[in-house]
């Protein structure tokens, strides 16, 4: 299965639904004005920028290095501005934004400190950098036990695709290392709720795609059958600890 733009958008929308509460919690700490400028780095198809534009009533921007996703984003979120750019050389001058944020972004970056430093560069004095969600795949928990090997295979596959499996646990210390002050860091809560079937199916399909490079179609079918059975019995535990952090920029 090759992901279409709509598939990616659906995936980003699903991820955003997991982290909605923490975004509300962090944004409530700021007294944003309509004249404030907000930037999301790694904005993808515009899921988070649209939410920011609607909830904060600020001037919102997104930057991504995938032009096709930016075209999708502009159609999906007509209220925000978008630019195609590199996270290590953001196409903005210094001191432009009251808030610079990202979401499931740093795990894909090979020099995370440089990326955070660049976010801080374009933030204003007394502005903020917010890392809404970064997962820690190395600390993944799977239950029942038969799912543990599948979890390890999926993590190994993601590492081969380029992720940092311990990105989540490092984000607070990386903000501090970049000179960001008053750093707050926490972990998203998890509870055993049975998701609706369509959400569960979407997650299984993503996992199956990650496993495809290692397992045969027959082995993947066995995995999916067990996933459905555990979903029906509400016994499945799959926890990938996910962290958030924020801090103030002082210049």
Interatomic CA distance for residues 181 and 150, integer angstroms: 40
pLDDT at 54 over 90: yes
pLDDT at 192 over 60: no
Round the CA-based radius of gyration of the chain to a whole number and report it: 19
- CA dihedral of 225, 214, 168, 115, whole degrees rounded to 10: -130
Mean pLDDT rounded to a whole number for the chain: 92
Q: Which domains does the chain have, with CATH numbers?
A: 5-248 (3.40.50.150)
Interatomic CA distance for residues 240 and 206, integer angstroms: 15
The model's pTM: 0.92
Which pLDDT score, from 0 to 100, does residue 230 have? 87
pLDDT digits (tens, 9 = 90+) for 11-39: 999 999 999 999 999 999 999 999 999 99
90 against 2, higher pLDDT? 90
Interatomic CA distance for residues 169 and 99, integer angstroms: 22
Over range 52-75, report the average pLDDT: 97
Interatomic CA distance for residues 152 and 156, integer angstroms: 6
pLDDT digits (tens, 9 = 90+) for 209-236: 778 878 888 988 888 888 888 888 888 8
Q: Which two tokens stand for residue 65?
A: 């290095």
What percent of the chain has a predicted confidence (pLDDT) above 70? 97
């Amino acid at each position: 299965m090759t992901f279409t733009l709509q598939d990616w958008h659906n995936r980003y929308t699903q991820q955003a639904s997991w982290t909605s509460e923490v975004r509300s919690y962090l944004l409530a700490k700021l007294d944003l004005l309509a004249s404030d400028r907000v930037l999301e780095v790694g904005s993808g198809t515009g899921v988070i920028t649209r939410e920011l534009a609607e909830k904060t009533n600020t001037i919102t921007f997104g930057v991504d290095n995938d032009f096709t996703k930016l075209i999708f984003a502009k159609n999906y979120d007509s209220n925000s501005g978008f630019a195609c750019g590199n996270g290590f050389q953001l196409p903005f001058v210094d001191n432009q934004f009251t808030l610079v944020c990202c979401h499931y972004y740093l795990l894909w970056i090979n020099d995370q400190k440089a990326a955070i430093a660049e976010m801080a560069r374009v933030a204003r004095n007394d502005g903020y950098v917010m890392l809404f969600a970064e997962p820690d795949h190395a600390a993944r928990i799977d239950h029942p036990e038969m799912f543990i090997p599948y979890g390890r295979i999926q993590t190994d596959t993601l590492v081969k695709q380029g992720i940092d499996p311990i990105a989540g646990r490092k984000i607070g210390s990386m903000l501090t290392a970049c000179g960001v002050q008053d750093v707050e860091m926490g972990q998203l809560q998890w509870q055993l709720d049975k998701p609706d079937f369509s959400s569960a199916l979407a997650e299984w399909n993503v996992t199956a795609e990650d496993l495809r490079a290692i397992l045969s179609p027959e082995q993947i079918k066995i995995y999916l059958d067990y996933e459905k059975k555990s979903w029906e019995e509400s016994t499945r535990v799959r926890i990938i600890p996910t962290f958030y952090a924020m801090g103030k920029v002082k210049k």
